[in-house]
């Protein structure tokens, strides 16, 4: 059975190290990679119909731009290494969206970087990696 690594990327050094880790694993065991970028978005706002229409257009533009500027270069890098990879961009709560993507695509492992938040910030708001470890039913590799 082929493995699938879901890698959450965010253009940070930690996210890049997570991608490199998954690429090394995929080269070693012949796995595939699903690269995911989540644009944090909250549905909790009060807009008029006109504002919602403009907001929807902005969201669509954001998705396209993220594919062109973030996902496609990463996929090219992985392809050059001989790794089969696909990419996806979504809006939403980052940890919940990565969990959902892992379920939808049958990912065996989720790989994310650990951002260097201060202890106070992490305690008050939680971290993506910490939340993901708590809510998902599959292994999560957190790369420092």
The DSSP symbol for 71 reads I
Segment 125-131 mean pLDDT: 76
Question: What are the sequence ranges of the domains in the chain?
Answer: 15-143
- Does residue 85 carry a pLDDT above 90? yes
Spatial distance between the Cα atoms of 21 and 134, rounded to a whole number of angstroms:
22
Q: Let me know if domain 15-143 sits in CATH 3.40.50.620.
A: yes
Q: What confidence score (pLDDT) does residue 115 get? A: 73
Q: pLDDT digit string (tens) for 2-43?
A: 799 999 999 889 999 999 999 999 999 999 999 999 988 766
CB atoms within 10 A of CB 63: 17
Percentages helix, strand, coil for the chain (3-state, rounded to 5) are 55, 20, 25
**Residue 76: pLDDT band by 50, 70, 90 thresholds?**
very high
């Amino acid at each position: 059975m082929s493995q699938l690594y879901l890698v959450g990327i965010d253009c940070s050094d930690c996210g890049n190290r997570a991608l490199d880790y998954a690429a090394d694993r995929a080269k070693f065991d012949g796995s595939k990679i699903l690269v995911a970028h989540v644009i944090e978005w909250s549905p909790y706002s009060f807009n008029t119909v006109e504002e919602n229409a403009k907001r929807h257009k902005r969201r669509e533009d954001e998705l396209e731009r993220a594919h062109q500027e973030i996902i496609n270069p990463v996929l090219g890098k992985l392809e050059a290494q001989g790794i089969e990879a696909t990419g996806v961009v979504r809006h939403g709560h980052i940890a919940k969206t990565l969990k959902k993507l892992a379920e939808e695509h049958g990912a065996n492992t989720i790989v994310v970087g650990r951002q260097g938040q201060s202890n106070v910030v992490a305690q008050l708001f939680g971290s993506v990696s910490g939340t993901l470890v708590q809510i998902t039913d599959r292994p999560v590799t957190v790369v420092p």
